[in-house]
Amino acid sequence: MQNFTWKNHKSCGTTSLLPMTPKKPQQWLQVVGHAGSFHVGDYGTLLKRFCEGEQQCYLRLMEDTLKPFVPAYHGIVQRDEQDYNMMDNLLTHFNTPAVMDCKMGSRTYLERELLLAKERPQPRNDMYEKMVAVDPEAPTVQERTQQAVLKTRYMQWRETLSSTTSLGFRIEGFRKSNEECHTNFKRTKSRDQVMAAFNNFVESNTHIVWGYLRRLKELRQVLEESVFFRTHEVVGSSLLFLHDWKGRTGVWMIDFGKTAALPAHLSLDHRTPWVEGNREDGYLWGLDNLIDILSNMLPLT
């Protein structure tokens, strides 16, 4: 990668991604998310399209107890007049890894997004079409007449389809080491369905499950002590799972484009059910459920 310029600054967007390293070293293949958001950098780094909110999160995380659980952050670089946040490429130390992206929390939209949508209620034809494509019975009589739904209604309906609202996380997609990809988890909702998906991902390897379980329990303990976590609404963030044929495993927190700092008087426990105004995101509730599911995949001892 050439022609990098160090920069400071600007705007935001978020993406959900799944990285991979198939045939060539230092490769990054997205399975879900927005194409073109990532480039592989030099010396084991990854470039992600610049987002100021995400940059601020990484700067704070580098000073927090959560630092070992996020990619190391190396600042902003410019490539072809586009700014990127530069961080460690987590795939570097794995040999043809299997990779899974789990979106954490009981909702994937910020409270301010909901507020904006309510301030400007505009029936959306595109969202109606997306809704009926998934479930033709979902629209109300009025929505069918209008052939449109409000954004607030669509956002909240969409979350009920997957395990986001029932378990506090959802599988976005995974890719096994043999390059077999699975990304159709929009209707994966029950514990049994999630467990079956995880079992497919780890190929019934209890050693891999043990590795993930240890890491997740360590993460939970650190999250419960983290100042950053207590003072941020963590929405749209993922856990990235990696394992390879040598039995190495790792889990990291990624995607902080929607993570928002709270007002000084407010802190979250991340387990209290969300009601509009309390800013709770259900992250730890989801992690508790994830740990419980993986625990139940292990033989009784």
Is the confidence at residue 12, as pLDDT, over 90?
no
For residues 154 and 178, membership in a common domain is answered with no
Q: Residues 129, 275: one domain?
A: no
DSSP character for 133?
Answer: H
Whether 46 and 177 map to the same domain: the answer is yes
Helix then strand count (H, E) for the chain reads 10, 12
Is residue 17 included in any domain, yes or no?
A: no
Residues 260/109, Cβ–Cβ less than 8 Å: no
pLDDT tens digits for range 117-168: 888 888 999 999 999 998 999 999 999 999 999 988 998 898 899 999 999 9
Residue 119 confidence (pLDDT): 87
98 and 204 both lie in a single domain: yes
| 155 shares its domain with 172 | no
Confidence of residue 13 (pLDDT cuts 50, 70, 90): very low
Full domain range(s) for residue 96: 38-106+168-297
pLDDT in tens, 188-201: 999 999 999 999 99
- pLDDT reading at 17 higher than 60: no
Low-confidence winner among 34-43, 169-178, 212-221 (lowest mean pLDDT): 34-43
Domain co-membership, 257 together with 137: no
Predicted local distance difference test score (pLDDT) of residue 22 = 35
- How many domains would you assign to the chain? 2
In a domain, 2, yes or no: no
- Please report the pLDDT score of residue 24 as a whole number: 40
Q: In this model, does residue 221 exceed pLDDT 90?
A: yes
pLDDT for 152 equals 84
Q: How confident is the model at residue 36 (pLDDT cuts 50, 70, 90)?
A: low
The chain-wide mean pLDDT, for the chain, equals 88
On whether both 187 and 248 belong to a single domain, the answer is yes
Question: In this predicted structure, what is the pLDDT of residue 271?
Answer: 98
Whether residue 254 sits in one domain with residue 227: yes
Q: Could you tell me the pTM of the whole model?
A: 0.86
Tell whether 280 is covered by a domain: yes
Give 108-120 as a DSSP string: SS-HHHHHHHHHS
Q: Is 274 left (phi over 0), alpha (psi -120 to 50) or beta?
A: beta
Q: Is residue 8 part of a domain?
A: no
pLDDT at 113: 85
